[in-house]
């Protein structure tokens, strides 16, 4: 532990020496909140023995200036540092101005990605038949539970079920470009090649079920701690993109929160 603190201190000193301004300390939560998707973690065929913690310095533009692994399985340190240097962050602000920031970030170590039968992603013939849906379940805690559906014409249907600002049914609309971007997220995830379910063994956690339907074809994928059992990371990217593009935040939280 003392050696890890020493490495972090050296990294911070070098960052100061190279740039002339001391980075502002930020918490791991702040680092995570500013992290931009998509990003990648480590996948291994061997035993998963924990994540890698790194001391990271980020420029005012959100570019990683330095990344030093300080804790976790040492055999993954080099790979974790390479991945971290490829990550991007939204700028950290102080008094309304973007600043250099320093804190801890984590590179997770997951099992190898598992796939179903490789199936080419078909083109959509009739956009009027397109329906993209995501359902998030309750957990043992205040997890938001809701269903949001997006149609090919941009119509959005939301139903809040628990722990959300807008309970019951709501409706909205997104642009054709946003619909196209959401469909592209399904394509990037190679959605029709995924297994139907990725389920971990820990109880009382929320699950995500994402489904896609068009031209008489339909597929759904359930994610319950899926990354822990080999779910491809593209599914997590898809879930984040779905919420962002559908604009669910306005129904999940009260204004100003």
| The overall pTM is greater than 0.75 | yes
Q: 13 vs 248, which has greater pLDDT? A: 248
Q: What is the pLDDT of residues 108-128, one digit of tens each?
A: 999 999 999 999 999 999 999
Q: How many CA atoms lie within 13 A of 201 on its CB side?
A: 1
Residue-wise pLDDT for 60-118, tens only, equals 999 999 999 999 999 999 999 999 999 999 999 999 999 999 999 999 999 999 999 99
Assign 19 a pLDDT band (cuts: 50, 70, 90): low
Number of H helices, E strands in the chain: 6, 15
Cβ count near 102 (within 10 Å): 22
CB-hemisphere CA count at 13 Å for 196? 2
Q: Which run of H or E residues covers position 27?
A: none
Identify the pLDDT of residue 187.
98
Across 2-32, b (16+ Cβ under 10 Å) vs e yields: eeeeebbeebbeebeeeeeeebeebeeeebe
Tens digits of per-residue pLDDT, 155-195?
999 999 999 999 999 999 999 999 999 999 999 999 999 99
Region for residue 198 given its phi and psi (left: phi exceeds 0; alpha: psi -120 to 50; beta: otherwise): beta
Q: Report which DSSP code applies to 91.
A: P
Q: Which domains does the chain have, with CATH numbers?
A: 2-111 (3.30.2420), 127-252 (3.30.1560.10)
Query: Does pLDDT of 37 surpass 90?
Result: no
Give bridge partners of residue 55 from the DSSP assignment: 68, 104
Q: Mean of the per-residue pLDDT values for the chain?
A: 91
Q: For residues 7 and 70, is the Cβ–Cβ distance under 8 A? A: yes
């Amino acid at each position: 532990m003392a050696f890890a603190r020493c490495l972090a201190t050296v990294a911070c000193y070098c960052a100061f020496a190279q740039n002339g301004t001391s980075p502002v300390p930020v918490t791991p939560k702040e680092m995570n909140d500013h992290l931009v998707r998509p990003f990648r973690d480590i996948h291994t065929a061997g035993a998963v023995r924990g994540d890698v913690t790194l001391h990271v310095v980020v420029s005012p533009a959100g570019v990683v200036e330095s990344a030093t692994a300080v804790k976790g399985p040492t055999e993954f340190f080099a790979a974790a540092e390479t991945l971290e240097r490829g990550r991007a962050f939204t700028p950290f602000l102080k008094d309304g101005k973007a600043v250099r920031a320093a804190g801890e970030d984590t590179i997770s170590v997951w099992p190898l990605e598992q796939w179903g039968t490789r199936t080419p992603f078909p083109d959509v013939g009739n956009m009027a038949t397109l329906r993209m849906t995501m359902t998030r379940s309750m957990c043992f805690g205040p997890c938001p539970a809701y269903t949001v559906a997006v149609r090919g014409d941009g119509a959005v249907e939301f139903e809040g079920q628990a722990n959300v600002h807008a309970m019951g049914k709501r409706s909205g609309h997104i642009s054709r470009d946003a619909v196209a971007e959401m469909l592209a997220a399904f394509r990037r995830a190679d959605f029709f090649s995924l297994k139907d379910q990725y389920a971990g063994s820990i109880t009382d956690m929320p699950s995500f079920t994402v489904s896609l339907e068009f031209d008489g074809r339909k597929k759904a994928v359930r994610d319950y701690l899926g990354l822990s059992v080999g779910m491809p990371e593209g599914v997590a990217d898809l879930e984040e993109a779905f919420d962002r593009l559908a604009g669910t935040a306005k129904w999940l939280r009260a204004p100003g929160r």
